[in-house]
Chain A
Amino acid sequence: MQHFLLYIDPGSGSYLIQAIIAGVLGIVFFFKNIMIAVKHFFYRIFGKKSKMP
């Protein structure tokens, strides 16, 4: 059964959960960005080489 929090703006509970989720995402995207940068770095090196005759 779903419990509705009557008289409370349904969006208001999401303020705190957003803070939690944003915290998790901060860590995830920090590492993800490093991974993307590393991949990009190697792609630039090997990508260029593969184009050479």
Chain B
Amino acid sequence: MSTDDQTYSAAGEVASVALRRTWWDRTWRSLKKAPVTAWFGMIVIACYVIVAVFAPIIAPYGQSEIFETPYAPWSSEFWFGTDQLGRDVLSRLIYGARNTIGIAVATTALSFLIGGSLGVMAAINRSWLDQALSRFVDVLMAIPSLIFSLMLLSIFGSNVINLIIIIAVLDATRVFRLARAVSLNVVVMDYVEASRLRGESLSWVMRRDILPNILPPLVAEFGLRFCFVFLTIASLSFLGVGIQPPTADWGSMVRENAQLISFAEYDMKAAMTPLLPAGAIALLTVAVNFVVDWFLHKTSGIRDEK
């Protein structure tokens, strides 16, 4: 830009940023700057996803295939031994990834659909609807969710569909709170008013005006909520009302083999067996949290590096 051009032209005005990168370029650049923990998290999650998707190919046996010896020790035939009915623990671990993660993802997605859309709607509406929804959510949140879901599951019966719906609804309360709070900051912007003046429908304003602007905190929250949902499902399975046998899942695997822990003084490996699914749960939770932390830090705009 030279100082010679003394005449004014609209197109020649200096804009603050002139350069926009493509989506891929931007993603790659931020990935390069990601800390080791985030990379660790992403790799672990990728492994879990691969295992879950290709479970039938990877697993040596079927998830409910029963062999002669229950509680078989670790061997080259059964890497992690067999459980109380004689099923291969490794195969059940692999299928368990598929079942548990699949259900957790479905539940989290559903809770975001419910909580997110109601939250945004309440923020736009700001009238009796907002009041009614918010108070209802307060009531739901006042009841400890594990106990509440135990109760609901025993009323409606525990099958996968009920499990997903009940946990999703209970979890949607937190999503509702967040979605409503971040939307409130966007709703007051002039461009939302401009859309309303244009006569746009509620769903257009929600999808096009508000959603793109509240997405980063919601995505981060999605990761966190996924962890909690995952833990809730595992706990419910451990308590016996979650995913029902013979479907393999990590929560009930811990429960079914829990007594093996007491064999630690005779056979260290056998005692490890119930800890394997527990470890799988822990590792995934930690990995997701690493990624979410990094993502939150990136989108919150905090710059601690100079």
Indicate, yes or no, whether A interacts with B: no
